[in-house]
Amino acid sequence: MAQFGSGDFIYEPVEGWGQLPPGWDFKEVGGVGVDSSDNVYVFNRGEHPMIVFDRQGNFLRSWGEGVFKRAHGVYVAPDDTLWLTDDGDHTVRHCTPDGKILLTMGTPGEPSPYMSGEPFHRCTHTAMAPNGDIYVSDGYGNARVHRYTPDGKLIRSWGGPGTDPGEFNIVHNITCDADGWVYVADRENHRVQVFDGNGRYETQWNNLHRPCGLFMPSGKCPVCYIGELGSSLAVNRNVPNLGPRLSIVDNTGKRLARIGGIGPGLGIDQFLAPHGICVDRHGDIYVGEVAWTNWPQTYPDTPRPVPLRCLRKFRKVG
């Protein structure tokens, strides 16, 4: 069996993981999350927006039909409820594991004015602080991070468009650690910015290429799993070593291991567009890819394969 990674982070791919019912298709996967029982929640852009599997990849249930317009981000809270970010609907929904909606943040179908800084305009992801406050990255039509109370009251916002510290060029993902630091994937600025809980800039991680997905396990000084996109520009689309790839870094941003990155593709050590990431209690990595959207950018003269691979599992072996 092929193995990838380095040091303490060695993985083998689990091909064909996640068996769908006959006739079903993810289309592409915006986000993926795992609960305390290692059930995996696949937030996708097919006809069944949330599809749930057990750790072995057996189908358990689906929900969200007719509710979600464009699946983007999943955060599974410590109580196993889910915070789901829908950039097509400009909303964040807090849901039970079986799909009951507990809270909706934002007005469905009504974005705030473009780059107004007001929530939300194509929000992208959510994270939870140790005290239960919710952070929302916002997103494609804003350049902001918003902080909310657990019951959905806005506390404060920060950020704006640009390249200086504290500014963003597509704020695409967000996560928190056990000490309350906030990590933001500033995708088109090729960096992850680090803030305190009130939005004060602390530092940034560089040497990344379009960081897209973020995941930090719970606990002190966790590592961070980062999905990086390759280039969508024709001028450097085929340049090697720019991604797409999965990087694992420590809590200072130092790289510990990497999977993929030589170039895009469908090989077992290649990605097209790693967009959502989660890791279970065993250290296994699940990667959701927005391959349907990415394919014509990467291969403009080649028809999409059908079905197009958009969900990966890597089993930790070292």
Q: Which residue has the higher pLDDT, 119 or 239?
A: 119
Q: Where does 4-316 sit in CATH, by number?
A: 2.120.10.30
Domain ranges of the chain: 4-316
ω into 139 cis (within 30 of 0): yes
- Which pLDDT band holds residue 309 (cuts at 50, 70, 90)? very high
Question: From edge to edge, which strands make up the β-sheet containing 82-86?
Answer: 71-76, 82-86, 91-95, 101-105
Q: For Cα atoms 8, 13, 18, give the angle at the middle one, nearest 5 degrees.
A: 125
- Give the whole-number percent of the chain exceeding pLDDT 70: 100
Euclidean distance between CA atoms 60 and 223, whole angstroms: 30
Asked if residues 256 and 248 have their Cβ atoms less than 8 Å apart, the reply is yes
Q: For Cα atoms 282, 288, 291, give the angle at the middle one, nearest 5 degrees.
A: 155
Q: What is the DSSP letter of 113?
A: P
- Return the closest-CA partner of residue 35 out of 279, 289, 287, 199: 279
pLDDT in tens, 63-82: 999 999 999 999 999 999 99
Both tokens of 170, joined, read: 């597509």
pLDDT in tens, 170-212: 999 999 999 999 999 999 999 999 999 999 999 999 999 999 9
Mean pLDDT of 129-142: 97
Mean pLDDT of 2-25: 95
3-class secondary-structure state, position 292: helix
318 has a pLDDT exceeding 80: no
